[in-house]
Amino acid sequence: MNTKKLNLKSIVRNIGRSGSILAVSGLLLTASTSYATWQPLARSGQKIGFNVVMGKKANQLVNVTVPGFHLQKKMVDGKTYTVVRVPDFPGVTDKGNPDVPRLSTNLLIPNGQVPSMKVVSTDYVDIPLEHPLLSSKGHFTRDINPETVPYTFSDTYQKDEFYPNKVLAEVSEPFTMHNVQGVNANFNFFQYNPVKQVLRVYKNVTLSMENSVPEAGQRATATKVPSFLASTLSRSFINFGLMQKPLDLHVADESGSMLVICYDDFTEAAKPWVDWKKKSGIPVKFVKMSEVGSTAEDIKNYVQEEFDKGGLSFLHLIGDVDQIPTLRGTVERAHSDQSYGLLAGDDWFLDIVVSRFSAQTAEKVALQVDKAVKYESAPDYGDAAAWYKKGIGIASNEGNPKDWDYADTIREGLMAFTYDEIDQIYDPNANASMVTEAINDGRSVINYIGHGSKTSWVTSRFNTGHIAELSNGRMLPYIWSVACVNGAFAGWGESFAEAWLNAGTLENQQGAVAVAAASTNMQWVPPLYWQAETNLVLLTNGTSRTFGGLSLGGMSKIAEKYGATSRSFKMFVEQTNNFGDGSIKVRYDAPNAVEVEEAKFANGKVSIKVGSPAGADLGALTVTVYNSDMSVLHTAKTDTRGVATFDVAADGELFTTVTGTNLIPVVDRKIDGQSIKRESKFDKLHK
């Protein structure tokens, strides 16, 4: 085997063992069904192994192992083809070309560096295929049934060379997430020669990622990562653990600050929510639209200026699109609030969370405000809290694998976490009354996968009319919708996503607390990576579970899988907007009760002691201390004993609020000039 023919550039040194032919054809012959069979290349496991074996600022050594792949036969127009798949990774998805698996990952890099990837050693096998490798249908949107898209075969199938005809490992241009830089590395470890009908798999490769500029020896300045990004970084960059120290990365206690841009007439209606955000520990800068200007460009400039000052984590807009314009996307001119969040680096990785109360009247703003405030500040508890552990999956019977297959995977993950009931409302049997009944019974999360319209989910036919008829009160779910145009919010007509937030009155609430949905047509497969990451990785393993932070983290998974400059990633970021408060901490369990056992102010120091008779975790709760007009406002986290202390210079009455994940918060507890000891549990019981 001549390695020169492998299209490996000169930097690639193949010092590994030479390729060997693996006899798997016998296996293929016996596989008469369309079921996938696992073709092992290593002894154990099916996970692609990314192992950063050395992590320094100057260079990192990465070892990638491919333990095997799934092999499947598929009949197309009377001819048999081979399909090759790897768990957790998509195909290259290039229309008409062999759909080999695309392996890739995100890596943190030192700021200001443009790293290159060099191959240190490789080990590959050549596998003759009994049937030709099937092509990809390419990307298409969810307004199209995949079955109606034909397979095509490009010129590649006539060429006696390996596809993709690229270097073994490519790194993207560096991108910036808020204040941290990374690259996407793409590994062309699956290659196919259509004429020889041979699949080449690199099963073990070691690579060295080296910086463009030699280390000058100066100490790097510490980088503080806002808490909403912490989970995304630690879960989606394979080298986070190893590089956190060399890169001097620290996760901040604080969530960062929020900029609110509000249509002038809605200022009063917005006030209770702004006050609540401050009490829950988010510093808020509130401005009227007239102070910002009138155009999208005015908003973009204003947000950029705030971001450049440092510390901005959230942008929230209040008003419909005619009152506060969207910024149009670059891929398909999608109406895009998210584009306001692209502030650092020339990339599509969001740097802050962006969300909107898309309401047209002060009355509806007041309703959306009340939904968000009460969701966080006054949760159900005891028997009434059962709904937090219930969810809904709604999915179509289309796609390969089917949409309901993905919905089942999410369901299993959530059930293994805190959930004890997730409805399976799947085609062909799904209908609107199933959705209505479940929501009215109380559900905290809805995952939708299928076709969508501006006013409905096609699977179940649940539409804006049904939302208006709901009677779920304040059992308000949050919703991840993988569908076309559910969030087409520009213009005066009410979109599906807006209807969820606008449903009900202050007295009789209904609908949802937050919805992530697209303003244009979503693609079939890439959004599923967003949804899976959001539900199964960031929710179940994360530390900071804000609705917008979960969505943002899920988006970075699309970049990881399809490339940082892929159309799929850019398009998804631009089109997928957050309706409702993006900074709310989602609830996925019955809330824990805590109480303020001690709140004293003496000698310029406030000391708060939080306790929990029910045994809730007392560490890392957010405690704020403020005066009545909130001109004084301090935030701190409790230590493991539940204690937070503050230096406060203020006269007059002081108050405290305690918030946390799945917590029944303590709100507006008055702080006294002297210690007020609550009765102990013992005293209460023995009175």
Give the binding site for Ca ion (CB under 5 A): 176, 320, 344-345, 347, 349, 351, 489
* Nearer to Ca ion (CB atom), residue 237 or residue 489: 489
Q: How far apart are the first and last CA of the chain?
A: 88
Place of tokens 């979960």: 550
Instruction: For residue 629, count other CB atoms closer than 10 A to its CB.
Output: 9
In one letter, which amino acid is 406?
A: Y
CA distance 523 to 521: 7
Q: Is the Cβ–Cβ distance between 153 and 96 less than 8 Å?
A: yes
Least distance to Ca ion, CB of residue 685, Å:
55
Of 670, 668, 665, 679, whose CA–CA distance to 606 is shortest?
Answer: 670
Q: Which residues are CB-contacts of 657 (< 8 A; sequence separation ≥ 6)?
A: 279, 280, 623, 624, 626, 665, 666, 667, 668, 669
* Nearer to Ca ion (CB atom), residue 82 or residue 576: 576
Burial (CB < 10 A; 0-12, 13-18, 19+), residue 131, is middle
Least distance to Ca ion, CB of residue 337, Å:
12
Pairing of strands 312-318, 257-262: parallel
Burial (CB < 10 A; 0-12, 13-18, 19+), residue 158, is exposed
CA atoms within 13 A on the CB side of 366: 9
* Nearer to Ca ion (CB atom), residue 356 or residue 466: 356
Least distance to Ca ion, CB of residue 351, Å:
5
Of 399, 495, 379, 514, whose CA–CA distance to 446 is shortest?
Answer: 514
* Nearer to Ca ion (CB atom), residue 422 or residue 571: 571
CA distance 446 to 448: 6
The torsion angles phi and psi of 310, rounded to 5 degrees, stand at: 100, 145
* Nearer to Ca ion (CB atom), residue 173 or residue 264: 173
Pairing of strands 59-65, 49-55: antiparallel
Of 328, 269, 332, whose CA–CA distance to 299 is shortest?
Answer: 328
E strands in 377-518: 390-395, 421-426, 445-449, 478-482, 514-518
Least distance to Ca ion, CB of residue 179, Å:
10
* Nearer to Ca ion (CB atom), residue 99 or residue 351: 351
Place of tokens 């001690």: 598
* Nearer to Ca ion (CB atom), residue 304 or residue 424: 304
Least distance to Ca ion, CB of residue 416, Å:
33
Least distance to Ca ion, CB of residue 533, Å:
18
* Nearer to Ca ion (CB atom), residue 320 or residue 427: 320
Least distance to Ca ion, CB of residue 232, Å:
12
* Nearer to Ca ion (CB atom), residue 344 or residue 666: 344
Least distance to Ca ion, CB of residue 493, Å:
7
SS3 content of the chain, % helix, strand, coil (to 5): 25, 30, 40
* Nearer to Ca ion (CB atom), residue 326 or residue 460: 326
Please name every residue paired with 118 in a beta bridge, in sequence order, or none if there are none: 208
Least distance to Ca ion, CB of residue 456, Å:
16
Least distance to Ca ion, CB of residue 181, Å:
9
Least distance to Ca ion, CB of residue 112, Å:
15
Please name every residue paired with 448 in a beta bridge, in sequence order, or none if there are none: 394, 481
* Nearer to Ca ion (CB atom), residue 318 or residue 392: 318
The angle, 0 to 180 degrees and rounded to 10, between the axes of the packed helices 547-562 and 567-575 is: 160
CA distance 412 to 561: 22
HEC secondary structure over 348-380: CCCCCEEEEECCCCHHHHHHHHHHHHHHHHCCC
* Residue 672 C-alpha from the chain's centroid: 42
Of 14, 25, 7, 2, whose CA–CA distance to 162 is shortest?
Answer: 7
* Nearer to Ca ion (CB atom), residue 349 or residue 601: 349
* Nearer to Ca ion (CB atom), residue 66 or residue 497: 497
E strands in 421-546: 421-426, 445-449, 478-482, 514-518
Least distance to Ca ion, CB of residue 322, Å:
7
Q: What residue spans of 189-295 are helical by DSSP H?
A: 227-236, 240-243, 267-279, 289-292
* Nearer to Ca ion (CB atom), residue 349 or residue 496: 349
* Nearer to Ca ion (CB atom), residue 341 or residue 591: 341
Least distance to Ca ion, CB of residue 320, Å:
4
Least distance to Ca ion, CB of residue 498, Å:
5
119 SS3 class: strand
The torsion angles phi and psi of 23, rounded to 5 degrees, stand at: -85, 95
Measured on CA atoms in the order 408, 414, 420, 423, is the torsion positive or negative?
A: negative
Least distance to Ca ion, CB of residue 341, Å:
8
Least distance to Ca ion, CB of residue 489, Å:
4
* Nearer to Ca ion (CB atom), residue 552 or residue 663: 552
* Nearer to Ca ion (CB atom), residue 99 or residue 347: 347
Least distance to Ca ion, CB of residue 221, Å:
19
Structure tokens at 69: 């792949």
CA distance 622 to 609: 12
CA distance 97 to 155: 8
